[in-house]
Structure 1
């Protein structure tokens, strides 16, 4: 077994750079995904058939196709069709936003639908219109239900960023591949990249469990 102990330390600067890109892409992408998901999730609840159909197509297409295919489509396919080049980092954020938005849309739809419909009647009895009922009665209750799935989606999207190495985004996986190709220390490189992902996902999972327990008690 050819193990290079120094490689476990030498790769750290590469992975620190990759960690920065991974977090930026995840945070910005999921934040935009929350906006998209909220819009399309509420559209799926619309009584207007056309609006509901548009939202359903968005959700089903994005959830029904592999993320890797979406990455290539948005980074290579669309720019090639329209005749321009797209920065890899921009492509990465856009893909994570659009992909996570489709899943968040279902979280929003499920969260709103899980609120007792009697709450709507209660809002009307108080003289609130549909928008006010959603804002002051339905949405606060639904948001409480949606927080744990939001957290799960954040962790999923963070791990999904590893696929962005396919378009040379300098995130964690790409940095590990770069280091491995230079030094041929593949075991050390990929062991450390797994460790870096665990350094993010384990605390995030623990925080999510803590939040879930707090929500159950409240």
Structure 2
């Protein structure tokens, strides 16, 4: 085996700068995906057939289409149709947020349905408006139930951001590949990138466990 990690030491700061880019994509996508996912989940439990049908159809589209295809469509096809040049950060966040929302909506819907129906009936009988009941009573309990699933979605989103390297964004993977091409070695820089991703996932997992413990203590 001809391995020499000393060759990439000078390039490590360049690769590490990709952490900020990766986290920017992940956090923005998670924020917008969560907001849209909550709205979709409310559509799915709505008695309005149009809203319900739209949410179900929307989810089926993103479940049945590879994420990299959706990213390519938004980044390369949208400019063709609109004439507007879209930046990688825009196309990446839009794609990941729309995709994450489809899965988040199903998770939240399941969490809402897991809350005892008696609480809804009691709130409505006391004259609590539907919106206030959902935001103040049902959703807080649902989030406690779905926290592990939401963490898994966050981890998947963090790893999915590596796809932005295909549209030219200087994330961790793209920087690792640039170093590999410059040094004519691939194992060392890509392994370094993999270790960084693993460390971020472990930090995210550890933070989620701490949050879960605090939520249990607050019960």
TM range (shorter): over 0.9
Q: Which residue of 2 aligns with 1:21?
A: 21
Q: Which residue of 2 aligns with 1:113?
A: 113
How far off is 1:214 after superposition? 4.1
Q: Which residue of 2 aligns with 1:126?
A: 126
- Over the aligned positions, Cα root-mean-square deviation in angstroms equals 1.5
Which deviations, in whole Å up to 9, do the C-alpha atoms of 1:77-111 show, x marking residues without a partner?
Answer: 12212222211121111111111111111111111
Q: Does 1:63 align with 2:60?
A: no
Q: Which residue of 2 aligns with 1:137?
A: 137
What CA distance in whole angstroms lies between the structure 2 residues aligned with 1:87 and 1:132? 38
What CA distance in whole angstroms lies between the structure 2 residues aligned with 1:153 and 1:185? 33
Q: Does 1:93 align with 2:93?
A: yes
Q: Which residue of 2 aligns with 1:53?
A: 53
Q: Which residue of 2 aligns with 1:182?
A: 182
Are the counterparts in 2 of residues 7 and 189 from structure 1 also a CA contact under 8 Å?
no
Structure 1 ranges of 4+ moved more than 4 A: none
What CA distance in whole angstroms lies between the structure 2 residues aligned with 1:216 and 1:60? 34
Are the counterparts in 2 of residues 88 and 168 from structure 1 also a CA contact under 8 Å?
yes
Q: Which residue of 1 aligns with 2:198?
A: 198
Q: Which runs of 5+ in 2 are unaligned?
A: none
Which deviations, in whole Å up to 9, do the C-alpha atoms of 1:2-35 show, x marking residues without a partner?
Answer: 2223134223122222111000110011111011
How far off is 1:213 after superposition? 4.0
What CA distance in whole angstroms lies between the structure 1 residues aligned with 2:135 and 2:203? 32
The SS at the match of 2:86 is coil
How far off is 1:186 after superposition? 0.6
How far off is 1:215 after superposition? 3.7
What CA distance in whole angstroms lies between the structure 1 residues aligned with 2:162 and 2:209? 24
What CA distance in whole angstroms lies between the structure 2 residues aligned with 1:14 and 1:44? 45
Are the counterparts in 1 of residues 8 and 179 from structure 2 also a CA contact under 8 Å?
no
Q: Which runs of 5+ in 1 are unaligned?
A: none
What CA distance in whole angstroms lies between the structure 2 residues aligned with 1:59 and 1:82? 25
The SS at the match of 1:11 is helix
**TM-score, normalization by structure 1:** 0.94
What CA distance in whole angstroms lies between the structure 1 residues aligned with 2:7 and 2:102? 40
What CA distance in whole angstroms lies between the structure 2 residues aligned with 1:182 and 1:128? 64
Which deviations, in whole Å up to 9, do the C-alpha atoms of 1:34-91 show, x marking residues without a partner?
Answer: 1110111111111010111111111111121111111101101122122222111211
